[in-house]
């Protein structure tokens, strides 16, 4: 793990870019945010469906959660963020946009590129987790936050993940819908009641399917981007209950 740049933010959080592995298409680019008081528990934060780790909403969330006292890390996994994408994935994304705008069914298109994307992302997130836990500023249990499908994939197999917060979850690849019952850690499932890209009933069915004995659903009125800011603070308190 090589830190390639760092900046100290006004709120005291240290924001560092890193890479894992040798130069090339397989190199994993990541960002680590650490609070002023360390060592701190770690939260792996992933944006839904491979949006970039540099996406401003993810960065804003990561900075605030780090200021609250967590180490937060995100990576661009294969086919995610700025990593090279196959022509097939680019074509599937274009086709998804077209189909959604036309109001056509999108399951097959979605499955065709998000399913493989999750399978490729999971091992890189686990490799990154190993590397992060060797960083002196990080200690204690691990939380997960964000992309539902990837989070299911990770929480189902990785016992170091002690609590998970998932967002949206209307479209989740079939493999992860089936894995949901294997997720048994405490769960905060956040959805937008009128999410234009995530059918409500499917998200509710997914919440129902999780194997966790302790699971909480938060839903707010509005579309995909309308989550109220207090939900991030609720998320912090959820992790405080389980990672402290």
Q: By the criterion CB under 8 A, which residues form the site for a second copy?
A: 193, 204, 207-208, 212-221, 228, 230, 234, 237, 241
DSSP assignment of 174-222 equals HHHHHHGGG--S-EEEEEETT-TTS-HHHHHHHHHH---SSEEEEEESS
User: Within 10 Å of residue 19's Cβ, how many Cβ atoms?
Assistant: 15
Half-sphere exposure at residue 42, Cβ-oriented, CA atoms within 13 angstroms:
24
Q: Which of 26, 233 has the CB closer to a second copy? A: 233
Q: Which of 147, 210 has the CB closer to a second copy? A: 210
Q: Which of 93, 200 has the CB closer to a second copy? A: 200
Closest approach of a second copy to the CB of residue 169, in Å: 14
Residue with tokens 């197999």, as numbered in its chain: 157
Q: Which of 39, 69 has the CB closer to a second copy? A: 69
User: Within 10 Å of residue 39's Cβ, how many Cβ atoms?
Assistant: 14
Closest approach of a second copy to the CB of residue 158, in Å: 22
CB 237 within 8 A of CB 209: no
Q: Which of 95, 234 has the CB closer to a second copy? A: 234
- Rg of the chain, C-alpha, whole Å: 17
Q: Which of 130, 214 has the CB closer to a second copy? A: 214
Closest approach of a second copy to the CB of residue 204, in Å: 7
Closest approach of a second copy to the CB of residue 228, in Å: 8
Closest approach of a second copy to the CB of residue 232, in Å: 13
The residues that bridge with 32 in the sheet, in sequence order, are 16, 73
Closest approach of a second copy to the CB of residue 24, in Å: 45
CA nearest neighbour of 27 among 86, 98, 75, 89: 75
CA nearest neighbour of 89 among 124, 44, 140, 50: 50
């Amino acid at each position: 793990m090589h830190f390639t740049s760092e900046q100290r933010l006004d709120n005291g959080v240290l924001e560092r870019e890193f890479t894992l592995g040798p130069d090339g298409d397989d190199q994993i680019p990541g960002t680590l945010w650490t609070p002023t008081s360390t060592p701190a528990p770690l939260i792996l934060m992933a944006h839904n469906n491979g949006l970039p780790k540099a996406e401003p909403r993810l960065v804003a969330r990561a900075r605030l959660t780090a200021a609250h006292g967590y180490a937060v890390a995100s990576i661009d996994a294969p086919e995610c963020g700025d990593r090279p994408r196959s022509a097939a994935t680019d074509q599937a994304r274009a086709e998804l946009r077209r189909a959604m705008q036309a109001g056509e069914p999108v399951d097959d298109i979605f499955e065709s590129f998000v399913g493989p994307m999750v399978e490729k992302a999971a091992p890189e997130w686990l490799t990154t987790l190993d590397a992060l836990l060797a960083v002196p500023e990080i200690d204690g249990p691990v939380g997960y936050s964000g992309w539902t499908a990837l989070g299911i994939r990770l929480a189902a197999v990785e016992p170091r993940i002690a609590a998970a917060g998932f967002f949206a979850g209307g479209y989740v690849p079939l493999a992860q819908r089936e894995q949901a019952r294997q997720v048994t850690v405490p769960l905060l499932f956040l959805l937008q009641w009128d999410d234009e890209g995530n059918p409500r009933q499917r998200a509710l069915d997914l919440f129902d399917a999780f194997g966790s004995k302790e699971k909480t659903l938060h839903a707010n009125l509005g579309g995909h981007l309308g989550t109220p800011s207090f939900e991030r603070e609720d998320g912090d308190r959820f992790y405080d209950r389980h990672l402290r």
